[in-house]
Amino acid sequence: MRISGRANNELRKVKIIPDFLDHAEGSCLISFGNTKVICAATVENKVPPFLKGSRTGWISAEYSLLPRSTNVRTEREAVKGRQTGRTHEIQRLIGRSLRTAVSLEDLGERQIKIDCDVIQADGGTRTASICGACVAMGLAIKKMRFKHNPLKNLVAAVSCGVVDGSVLLDLDFSEDSKAEVDANFVMVDTGGLVEIQATGEKSTFNSKQLSEMMEFSRIAIEQIFEIQKEILLG
């Protein structure tokens, strides 16, 4: 029995509040249980130097944990003078995931920057960031009124893992901190997989467990797509 009382394949309550910030072109506050992330999209009419003159756009992301998003205060990376490897990894994951959902050619020579700021962390911050970033980006694109909508797909993600020998969906911190296997699944709403990150933290895992994690995640991500659609297509 999980501490939360959830079934092994049960997603935490997901809530998305759109247009959470006044100044961003697109924004939302997304909650996965007690994990809360503010996602904001900024549109710039320029691209990185390597894309200048290419008539194609770019999507990038920045991610941060606010100091009291965690039980023990997390030092600001700006104070340290450098970002951690974990932050770089998560930013790249968010950016890669979002680019699979967008036609960069239809975006034109524009860049959309997504800021994902975790204000409360209880596991699954990177997957929550991807889900919220998609909504923030979609809202920004919607306001721009493109002739050909660059947003081709929705993208969402969820965590999964093996704890005490059992496959569990959407791990909170208490579960994630003792998981033998930790995994993240990213998918688009046409059914394609964008990325799978799966690591044996304390033990190995077999193909049956991987298949079970994938099936749990697929069903949960379909539920997240429905929430995203209510906001972006409503």
pLDDT one-digit tens code per residue, 70-125: 999 999 998 888 999 999 999 999 999 999 999 999 999 999 999 999 999 999 99
Alpha-carbon distance 87 to 75, whole Å? 13
Closest CA to 188 of 144, 161, 228, 216: 228
* Cβ(94)–Cβ(130) below 8 Å: yes
Alpha-carbon distance 157 to 90, whole Å? 13
The structure tokens listed for 116 are 């994902």
pLDDT at 149: 92
Alpha-carbon distance 31 to 46, whole Å? 32
Alpha-carbon distance 234 to 230, whole Å? 5
| Amino acid, single-letter form, for residue 128 | A
145 secondary structure, DSSP code: T
* Cβ(95)–Cβ(116) below 8 Å: no
Torsion sign over Cα 22, 27, 29, 35: negative
- 16-64 residue pLDDT tens: 999 999 999 999 999 999 999 999 999 999 999 999 999 999 999 999 9
Per-chain mean pLDDT for the chain: 96
Apex 197 CA angle, 195 and 130, nearest 5: 60
pLDDT at 201: 87
* Cβ(188)–Cβ(154) below 8 Å: yes
Is the per-residue pLDDT at 1 higher than 80?
no
| Amino acid, single-letter form, for residue 172 | D
Is the per-residue pLDDT at 234 higher than 80?
no
CA 19 to chain centre: 17
Work out the average pLDDT over 217-229. 98
Work out the average pLDDT over 206-219. 97
